A and B are shown apart, each in its own frame.
Chain A
């Protein structure tokens, strides 16, 4: 009888541990093409979760005008409360604590007419706490520590993705600069040579016999 009781307790304990273990903190790193307004939603399961992420706008070839004005980013809770807002930025990180569970909307708005590519990463982190457990179950502190460790690692992963996206943007800018340097200097040579040739032709024409005869 005693053995059966301990066996049931241990299975419930395993159940509790597995439930904790399967709350896998997920993140999604994607890039979308932003034409005017794009919204992405994520379902957050528990209130008190920390929602963190970052986004970077990929540079596009700018030949004439100054740098792109930036995009607008808003994060809205299921109630419609604005949780986070960023304006006129070409890339930033964000973090907030979700006060309630539900579907949160993350929207990007592009003020200019050219479509942009936005690379973003959203991560929802959950650390289990005492709530959500029945009375006879107890929270294993090791599981909490593991969850905290995982959250710290996910923070590193988030930062890495941000750095990777920014590096891609800088690389794009640098390659565009190199192409433009070559293009502008070759154009400069061609313009020099053609101006000089045109000047020579004009002066020769000024002194040509037909012109001299027609001047009088």
Chain B
């Protein structure tokens, strides 16, 4: 009882210690410019994002000009996160609408134009799940946790396959509809050409007959 408790405690401690080591994507943002990053998120999947401005001088405090404004919106325009003039922050939500979610970073104007590096970590689905919580709740050991993670990954791959298959089916239908449309439209074009030419000739004939030239 004592040993397992100690093990669980150590597990938590080490997971807590080592999670900040998980690095993320960095990009540069110039003052006065906006950079937007978008990601396609399926419905009912958890998504977690962490952003922070990288300190160019280690040990010194971050200068005041190094602040960003962040906004996370869905493809329908709903706002999911907004932070004004911050150096670090995070957001987490369950994506109700499927589609492209956009995280926009805006750096305020500064007279000598500065370029700051923003560290951004955006995870969705399996990677966003809080595994330390799962370990704490179920009193699972490390091996089982790893295998659980692998199982969830495989399930998500399977679901993604279904999605790709349905998209391919939609594309096939779209292509055959386009094919059909092209056929009917060219047939219609031929009919219109012939009928316009016919009308043209008939009209001119009656015109000249009226003018008593024929």
Contact = CB atoms under 8 A, between A and B. Distances in A.
A32 B164 CA distance: 22
Contacts of A175: 174
Does more than half of chain A's interface fall in helix, strand or loop, or is it mixed? helix
B197 A14 contact: no
A196 to B, nearest CB: 5
A185 B186 contact: yes
Interface stretch (A81-89, A91-99, A131-139, A163-171): A163-171
Contacts of B62: none
Does more than half of chain B's interface fall in helix, strand or loop, or is it mixed? helix
Interface in B10-66: 10-11, 14-15, 18-19, 21-28, 35-40
B189 to A, nearest CB: 6
B211 A196 contact: no
A177 B178 contact: yes
Contacts, number: 167
A170 B171 contact: yes
Contact of A39 (B22, B27, B178, B181): B27
Contact of B196 (A7, A29, A193): A193
A27 B156 CA distance: 15
Interface residues of B, number: 70
A180 to B, nearest CB: 10
A45 interface: yes
Contact of A171 (B25, B154, B167): B167
B22 A24 contact: yes
B24 A41 contact: no
B18 A19 contact: yes
B85 interface: no
Contacts of B40: 29, 31, 164
A18 B10 contact: yes
B15 A22 contact: yes
Contacts of B23: 26, 42-45
Interface string B71-102: 00000000000000000000000000000100
Contacts of B38: 30-32
Interface string A68-111: 00000000000000000000000000000000000100000000
A114 interface: no
A33 interface: yes
Contacts of A41: 25-27, 117
B115 to A, nearest CB: 11
A200 interface: yes
A157 B153 contact: yes
A63 to B, nearest CB: 17
Given A17-B142, A19-B14, A181-B181, A30 B37 contact: yes
B204 interface: yes
Interface in A2-50: 7, 10-11, 14-15, 17-19, 21-22, 24, 26-33, 38-45
B174 A174 contact: yes
Given A30-B39, A41-B26, A178 B18 contact: no
B7 A22 contact: no
A14 B7 contact: yes
B136 interface: no
B199 A18 contact: no
Contacts of A60: none
B160 A22 contact: no
20 contacts: A11-B6, A14-B10, A19-B18, A22-B14, A27-B127, A28-B25, A32-B37, A38-B27, A39-B28, A41-B25, A44-B23, A150-B146, A164-B160, A177-B178, A182-B185, A185-B189, A192-B193, A193-B196, A199-B200, A207-B208
Given A28-B25, A164-B163, 4 more contacts: A11-B10, A18-B15, A38-B27, A192-B193
Interface of A: 7, 10-11, 14-15, 17-19, 21-22, 24, 26-33, 38-45, 103, 122, 142-143, 146, 149-150, 153, 156-157, 160, 163-164, 167, 170-171, 174-175, 177-178, 181-182, 185, 188-189, 192-193, 196, 199-200, 203-204, 207
